[in-house]
Structure 1
Amino acid sequence: MKLALVGDIGGTNARFALWRDSRLESVRVLATADFAGPEQAISHYLAAQGLAPGSLGAVCLAVAGPVRGEHFRFTNNHWRLSRSAFCRTLGVSELLLVNDFTAMALGMTRLRDDERLPICPGEADPEAPAVVIGPGTGLGVGTLLPLGAGRWKALPGEGGHVDLPVGSLREARLWQQLHGQLGHVSAENVLSGNGLLQLYRALCAVEDNPPRLASPAEVSAAALAGDPVAEEVLELFCTWLGRVAGNNVLTVGGRGGVYIVGGVVPRFAGFFQRSGFARAFASKGCMSDYFGGVPVWLVTAEYPGLEGAGVALQQALQA
């Protein structure tokens, strides 16, 4: 097989790398706004590597949204893709499109020990599903299934849009405030970058305090600096993430462990390790004992989506 390329494409950035001998090479991040479509971005990437169109035998792109049919429209940017036109333009014989959270989940199979921080101790059951959950622009949730013989299957879903679970009177007051603004209150409405800001504004409204912070980054920075309101918001965020992650473990039998991914939580990793996440994660009434020994890790790897795209491509070509 010729050289392969993998990509992880978001709303703002597209990450590309060569995939050779089961390893990433020459990772580069390009702004999607700078290119008319994926073909132009990949042609630019290949030229920078001294490669011409036709050099690639296979491409796997991790993309946000459901993947089916000939045409794909990217969710958070202006790009569109026709499978046949893409392959013709770049001289590619194999194009695999996978959901971005499928790639993220598969990327967990490539982690080194120094690319994850322990949050809850335990020993993963190697034959059980693992939960992968990630607050970022939204809230991604997926399940990673071991198939044996070093093969894996990722089950993407829309678990970020489940109802936000309420576990205390304080949370009920905040839920009521959010419900008045949003109607349906999903987990993603709180457990995302914008959700962190939305939660801060809801708490200010409940306490009848004017909000003075204007971005998720300001909220997390103020919390780490000791601001009491922002600190409570971040604690609530961690607690709600624990409750949602625990619900997913119960739903899929996720004794293979839980991976916290995405760009939000690593920004306050130390706070997260000390937070009420672990308590909320395992506080499930008569099922609380189920969580004994279920490990949870915070993933700090730089390119897990690219790694997962490589795993997806490798498994598809070997099938």
Structure 2
Amino acid sequence: MSLALVGDIGGTHARFALWRDGRLEMPQVLETARFAGPEEAILDYLVGQGLEPLALEQVCLACAGPVESDPFRFTNNRWQISRAAFLSRLGLRQLLLINDFVAMALGVTRLPESELLPVCAGQGEAGRPCLVIGPGTGLGVSALLPDGAGGWRALPGEGGHVDLPLGTDREVALWQEMRRELGHVSAESVLSGAGLLRLYRVGCRLDGLAPELESAAAVSRAALAGDAPAAAALEQFCCWLGRVAGNHLLTLGARGGVYLAGGMLPCFPGFLQASGFARCFADKGVMSRYLDGIPVWLVTAEQPGLLGAGLALEMGLR
């Protein structure tokens, strides 16, 4: 395969790398806010590598959102892509757009065990689907389906925008506050960077406290340092992630296992393991036993989305 470019573009960061002979080369992370659009970001990346666009044969971009429309508009940033204009400006002959969590799902199929941290012990069932889910700027969800030939197909979707499930009186109270603010309360309304900050602020309001923290990163740092309101918010975040992941597992029959991915969770792996995630994941009433023994792993690899974009490009060429 000739030289290609792969990208994994979310709401906050755009990750790029070269793809050659089934391997990633020269990965780099750029902030989307610095650029007017993906073309400008790619040109900046190529200049940094001493390359011209004409050196590339193909580009595969994994993008946050449903990629069927043209132009494609990103869900959580202002960028958009018109396929014809993109190819013309960069002088390319092929552009493959895929959902970012399709790329994430394909990427985890190639990860070694050393880049998977156990969250719930168990043994996945051979030949059954797997769930891939993870919070970052938004909440990504995908499924891996066995292809019948020893490989996998990744299922695109927008499962991050399902309704937020409620399981306790505290969750009902938090939901009511968020509904007054947002109208529709999706899973992503909580399970994202903006969602963690929202959860912290709403929790403080319910408890009669003045919120002091101004970002999701600050909330997670304070939680790990023992700040009680921040720790309560992060604990509730993990519990809601468990509920949402368990719901998707029931829908998909994903008894092959669950992969937790995205940019947020690797910042607090120990907290996640000790949290109520596992309890809420399996809290499904008469179907609770269905989730017994289903393994859950935290993906700790640095660039699984870029790896998946390269694999998708090779699959598309075949």
Is this a same-fold pair by TM over 0.5?
yes
Instruction: Map Cα deviations across residues 28-76 of structure 1 (whole Å, 9 max, x no partner).
Output: 2234444444334333433433433322221111112222254333444
Moved more, 304-313 or 283-292: 283-292
Which segments of 5 or more consecutive residues in structure 2 lack a partner in the other structure?
none
Instruction: Give the aligned residue type for 2:96.
Output: L
| 1: CA distance, partners of 2:134 / 2:315 | 24
**1:1-319 correspondence to structure 2 within 5 Å:** 1-318=1-318
Could you say if the C-alpha distance between residues 153 and 84 of structure 1 is closer, same or farther in structure 2, counting changes exceeding 3 Å?
Answer: same
> Structure 2 vs 1, CA of residues 91 and 273 (structure 1 numbering), >3 Å: closer, same or farther?
same
* 1:171 maps to amino acid: E
What do the CA deviations read for 1:231-262 (whole angstroms, capped 9, x no partner)? 22211111111111111110100111111111
1:163 counterpart letter in structure 2: D
Against the structure 1 CA distance between its residues 93 and 151, is the aligned structure 2 distance closer, same or farther, given a 3 Å change threshold? farther
> How big is the shift at 1:127?
1.1
Q: Measure how far apart 1:121 and its partner are.
A: 0.8
Q: Distance in 2 between matches of 1:220 and 1:30?
A: 23
Aligned AA (2:294): V
Stretch deviating more after TM superposition (39-48 or 266-275): 39-48
Q: Aligned partners of 1:53 and 1:294: how far apart in 2?
A: 45
Tell me: CA distance 1:146–1:177, structure 2 relative to 1, closer, same or farther (3 Å).
same
Letter of the 1:264 partner, please give it: M
> 1:233 corresponds to which letter in structure 2?
A
- Residues 104-156 of structure 1, C-alpha deviation per residue, up to 9 Å, x if partnerless? 12111121212111000111223111111111111111111121335322222
Structure 1 unmatched runs, 5+: none
Asked if structure 2 preserves the Cα contact closer than 8 Å seen for 1:151 and 1:315, the reply is no
| 3-state DSSP of counterpart to 1:210 | coil
**Which segment is superposed worse, 46-55 or 235-244?**
46-55
1:297 Cα deviation from its structure 2 partner: 0.6
TM-score by length of 2: 0.93
Q: Secondary structure at the match of 1:17?
A: strand
Flag the 1:111–1:45 CA change in 2: closer, same or farther, 3 A: same
| Residues 227/13 of structure 1: CA separation in 2 closer, same or farther (3 Å cut) | closer
Cα gap change, 1:224/1:22 in structure 2, threshold over 3 Å: closer, same or farther? same
Shift of 1:24: 0.5
Between the aligned partners of 1:32 and 1:176, the Cα distance in structure 2 is 33
Q: In the aligned structure 2, how far is the partner of 1:43 from the partner of 1:148? A: 40
Contact kept in structure 2, 1:242 and 1:277, CA below 8 Å? yes
| SS of residue paired to 2:289 | helix
Percentage identity across aligned positions?
64
Change (3 A) 1:107 1:231: same
1:161 shift after superposition: 1.7
CA distance in 1, matches of 2:117, 2:205: 35
Higher deviation after alignment, 28-37 or 218-227: 28-37
Aligned residues: 318
Change (3 A) 1:217 1:53: closer
Q: Take 1:18 and 1:150, find their aligned partners in 2: how far apart are those partners?
A: 27
Query: Root-mean-square deviation (CA), in Å?
Result: 1.9
Preserved CA contact (<8 Å) 2:11 2:137: no
Mapped partners of 2:312, 2:111: distance in 1 = 15
Which amino acid in 1 is paired with 2:312? A
Structure 1, residues 200-231: CA drift from partner, whole Å, max 9, x if none? 12222222222222222222222111122222
Contact 1:2 1:55 in 2 (8 A): no
